[in-house]
Amino acid sequence: MSHKVVTLVCSRVVGSAAQKAVLTNMADKASDGGEGVFASKATIAAETEMGLTTVKRAINELLEKGLIVEAGAKPCTNGHTIIYDMVVGAIAALPEWKLSRRAEPRRSMVDPVQNGR
């Protein structure tokens, strides 16, 4: 488990809740350098309480964005499990969620039903 990588992932805007949940789950299993994530998609789905199809889609999106890479495979009960490495530099380059949140315009506190009355 890498507290360092988990903290990094949690501080970034990843793109979707599913991608962030999968990436955070992977960070919890990675070394401090982000390497050696060995968890099946079914395990990630169970631990994040998401469907298997959602996890597969999120992993494919993270691969396309270059935030994770396939580093190998290990045999397991159902065939093999892919080992992933997290690309820590690419994750660090994502926008910080606190900064992007501050950039959003503030919403008016006036109730739109009041019509100025």
Q: Which of 11-15, 37-41, 54-58, 112-116 has the lowest mean pLDDT?
A: 112-116
User: How does pLDDT run across 23-68, given as a tens digit for each residue?
Assistant: 999 999 999 999 999 999 999 999 999 999 999 999 999 999 999 9
Question: 3-state DSSP helix/strand/coil percent for the chain, to nearest 5?
Answer: 45, 20, 35
**CA terminus-to-terminus distance, the chain:** 57
Domains and CATH numbers, the chain: 3-102 (1.10.10.10)
